[in-house]
Chains A and B, each alone.
Chain A
Amino acid sequence: MIQNSSEKLGNAVIMILIGIFCLFCVLPMIHIFALSFSGNRAIMSGEVFLWPIEWNLNSYKDIWGDSSMIRSLLFTIGLVVGYTVLSLCATILAAYPLSRRNFKGKNVMFAMIIVTMFFNPGIIPNYLLVKELHLLNDAWSLVLPILVNAFLLIILKTSFSQMPEELEDSAWLDGCGHFRYLLRIVLPLSLPILATLALYSAVDRWNTFQDALFYINDSNLYPIQMKLYEMVVNSFVNDASAQEGFSATTPVPQSLQAASIMFATVPIILVYPWLQRYFISGMLAGAVKG
């Protein structure tokens, strides 16, 4: 039937179009991957596209040999772990009381938190506060100003309040106070949503750039994205000014730039299967409520 064959043609066209968009999404990353393993000569002559030419590990060896890069990596891992734990704790501490039925002052406190989602005073008042608290050039400046994310707090509060109330009542009758109830019953039952929040926080801090740029001058405290920015983007910007005769800096070899990009991307790719699974449910939970 004509209808049927035109349906089939339509299916093919749709699959091809989606395929093209998928390629658009991944080809740049595959290309960087190929560059990072290629020889500089092959790169300069434009031979490298999607597969490494003159395969070698020199760029990665250079990165592992660069103590500032390793320091930045370790600092970022510390930041990610520390922030994720602290942020999760603070979010739980807020989400639990706000999800209780019988908690006087709940509405006022919740409203105070919601208001902060609508009005953002801007970059400078936040900067001045960090400055007044003497947190500039301090790792805490990348943790404290964003300790609780109101959006994630709402997701967690919603999840907590969906637990059966009888659970709390019977725990209370058994002599179990709020702290014990939270630790022994609520948290163990909420592991999937806690994992979602932890992943969200971890990815956020791994990718942190803006606040590090604002608050950190000391290159010993550069998170990985700052380091990458210096190596790749800034070297391009300097390159552009060098041509205008402003400054001449030694250009970073392209394979090394590519390897640094891979270096910062690989952890995200490694956790990506979990990210994908948990983020979508989290995103939808937030969208329904928010």
Chain B
Amino acid sequence: MKTEVHLNSPALAVAMKGGAGYWRRQWPLYIMMIIPMAFFIVFRYIPMAGVLVAFKDYNIFKGIWASPWAGFDVFKEIFSLPEFYKALRNTLMLNFLGLLTFPIPIVLALMLNEIRVHWYKRVSQTLMYLPHFISWVIVGGMAIELLSTNYGTINQMLNAIGVPAIPFLEKPALWVATYVGAGVWHSAGWGMILYLAALTGINKELYEAADMDGATRMRKTWHVTLPGIKPTIIVLFILQIGNMANIGFEQPYVLTNNYVSDYSQVISTYVYTVGIQSARFAIATAVGLFQSVVGLILLLTAELISRKINNQGIF
């Protein structure tokens, strides 16, 4: 028993004297937990029960409980909707392209690690972290100011030198590139943080030994630095794969427009359109549940793989 260690602690002795002593001392802890636990039950657990809507013929006037059961009819319905497959395809496509940008924070962190001029390093970090704190609405606004065909600055500059405007936001392929680029802008710098932390944990003697052997910078990076941050890379990579089915709402929503909706409609925005805008709650809940379940399975698989490769779980 670990309590033995503290047997000489008088407070513990009082607390352990018996039920009454325990309660006399510890009752405030239970009072404190009332509000937080009420929050978790009401706002986290009741919505979990709310997924039952997906198995109901939901009638807004009857409420969740009184609506008749529909079994898996709703799921049959969503799997017959072409719009659903489109949203699923776009989600996977955008996430996959996002996965291709996975090495960028690693490369940035490795480069930053090589910089010996301290003020330059500090200023760079400051500038690179900043976009993380800018809201997606602002990013969307900036994308329009910079990239739109009619008045975007980049297109105005292209026009000025006689190059025709590039429809960054209106042509699907270019829009997808813009989407991925906005993601890099927003989070690549911030994504360095965990790598930079891992880099500081690498044993300096390894570099000294490599210097003795006359290793070049490239060889040191390859044979010392990268192996040093390999566990971090693997965990973050697996985590990102585990999140393949999940997609944020704001990034696609603020960047989209009518021209590209065939490619920008993802699961989250689809759920919003069908559920909140059209009030088809059962279908939207089923789509969301499908995403949550697939997401959970992927995440648990990721955890298992991580345990196999890294000998330690993510969580």
A: residues with CB less than 8 A from B are 3, 7, 10-11, 14-15, 17-19, 21-22, 24-26, 28-29, 31-32, 35, 43-44, 46, 48-49, 90-91, 93-94, 96-97, 100-105, 109, 112-113, 116, 118-129, 132, 144-148, 153, 165-166, 168-169, 172-173, 177-179, 203, 206-207, 209-210, 213-214, 225-226, 228-229, 232-233, 236-237, 239-241, 244, 254, 257-258, 260-261, 264-265, 268-269, 272, 275-276, 280, 283-284, 287, 290
Contact = CB atoms under 8 A, between A and B. Distances in A.
Contacts of B208: none
A173 B138 contact: no
Contact of B114 (A14, A103, A116, A284): A14
Interface in B238-265: 249-250, 253-254, 256-259
Interface in B26-80: 26, 28-30, 32-33, 35-37, 39-40, 42-51, 53, 63-64
Interface stretch (B11-19, B81-89, B90-98, B222-230): B11-19
Contacts of B137: 207, 209, 225-226, 228-229, 232-233, 264
A158 B18 CA distance: 28
Given A127-B275, A168-B11, A241-B258, A236 B148 contact: yes
Contacts of B112: 18
Contact of B134 (A15, A144, A265): A265
A103 B185 contact: no
Contacts of B144: 232-233, 236, 257
B250 A209 contact: yes
Given A46-B153, A276-B129, A172 B25 contact: yes
Contacts of A210: 249-250, 253
Which secondary structure characterizes the binding site on chain B?
A: helix
Contact of A148 (B39, B53, B157, B315): B39
B285 A46 contact: no
B299 A178 contact: no
Contacts, number: 282
A25 B111 contact: no
15 contacts: A15-B115, A15-B120, A18-B112, A25-B189, A28-B185, A102-B22, A112-B37, A122-B292, A123-B271, A123-B275, A126-B50, A129-B47, A144-B39, A275-B133, A290-B315
Interface of B: 6, 9-12, 14-16, 22, 25-26, 28-30, 32-33, 35-37, 39-40, 42-51, 53, 63-64, 108, 111-112, 114-117, 120, 123-124, 126-131, 133-138, 140-142, 144-146, 148, 150-151, 153, 156-157, 159-160, 170, 185, 188-189, 193-194, 197, 216-217, 249-250, 253-254, 256-259, 268, 271-272, 275-276, 281, 284-285, 287-289, 291-292, 295-296, 299, 315
B120 A113 contact: no
Contacts of B129: 276
Given A93-B36, A102-B12, A22 B127 contact: yes
Contacts of A173: 10-11
Contacts of A275: 133
Contacts of B284: 123-124
B237 to A, nearest CB: 15
A131 to B, nearest CB: 9
A233 B138 CA distance: 9
B150 A239 contact: yes
B11 A172 contact: yes
Nearest to A103: B29
Contacts of A144: 39, 43
